[in-house]
Structure 1
Amino acid sequence: MADKFIRIYDNVNQTGEMNQFEMQAELKTYIDRELYANLSQALNDVADGRGSATGSKTFNGYPVLHASAGKIGRSSITLFWYEKDRNHYIIAMGEHANSTTYDLTHYGQIEGDFRLNNRITIV
């Protein structure tokens, strides 16, 4: 399993390494309080290696994984990340629009599939 969390921003910049609780505190700044429990569960899934593939989508040449927590159409959090050198690189955070479509409403990049406010479908 990976050891640290790193947040990618502006497509090429990154934060320093963080533990799971530090990453949770950082990501909480992007969401409303009622989503905190879902964020915690999604981060647990990232840390425990329970991510799902995002079809053929990649970021910086790495396959992207995602993990979701919450109820579709009510309140959910989905994290998107890739793995490199035993670390989790968080690239976007959004919510389910339906079972295969996600709106990147909370956090994202400045361009590409994982840009903020983009909608992506995983097939």
Structure 2
Amino acid sequence: MANMFILISKNNQYSKPMTQAEMKKELEGYINKESFGNLSQALNDVADGKGKATQPYTYPHGTENFPVLHASSGKIGANASISLFWYDKPRDKEKDHYIIAMGEHTTSTTYYLAHYGQTEGDFKLKKTIKLS
């Protein structure tokens, strides 16, 4: 089985593993159509291992804390921009991408979690993430 995408719900439940196309369709339900192209590019970056460090943030999975990565597409401050936040967890010779939040790039080091997020913690929906 290839690398899969898993969406972590607001109550910290994991979705069934999805292909990139299935994840795109799932996440499109949270954004306007103008953002679909940027979502596609951000998901391509996730799949291609082009995530950037999101220091100092980590996310718990079981007894481990995984470093959070992000990928953005679209102009900073533009309403159609998309930023995805996730962590990778190895599985056999593959890895799974656990999506925890989706927002937009507001400055070169800040992101507003406008579209999708958790109910509490660093990746709470409507929270601003600032990188160090």
The normalised TM-score by structure 2 is: 0.90
Task: State the identity as a percent.
Answer: 58
- Give the aligned CA root-mean-square deviation in angstroms: 1.0
Unaligned runs of 5+ in 2: none
Q: 1:111 is matched with which residue: 115, 120, 123? A: 120
Look at both structures and tell me which one has the larger radius of gyration over its CA atoms.
Answer: 2
1:70 corresponding residue in structure 2: 74
Q: Deviations over 1:15-56 (max 9, x none)?
A: 000000000000000000000000000000000000000012
Q: Is the Cα contact below 8 Å between 1:11 and 1:111 reproduced in 2?
A: no
State the shift of 1:10 in Å. 2.2
The normalised TM-score by structure 1 is: 0.96
Q: Deviations over 1:98-122 (max 9, x none)?
A: 1100000000001000010000101
Moved more, 30-39 or 52-61: 52-61
Alignment of 1:27-38 (within 5 A): 27-38=27-38
- The number of aligned residues is 122
Give distance in 2, aligned partners of 1:115 and 1:59: 12
* Aligned amino acid, residue 79 of structure 1: L
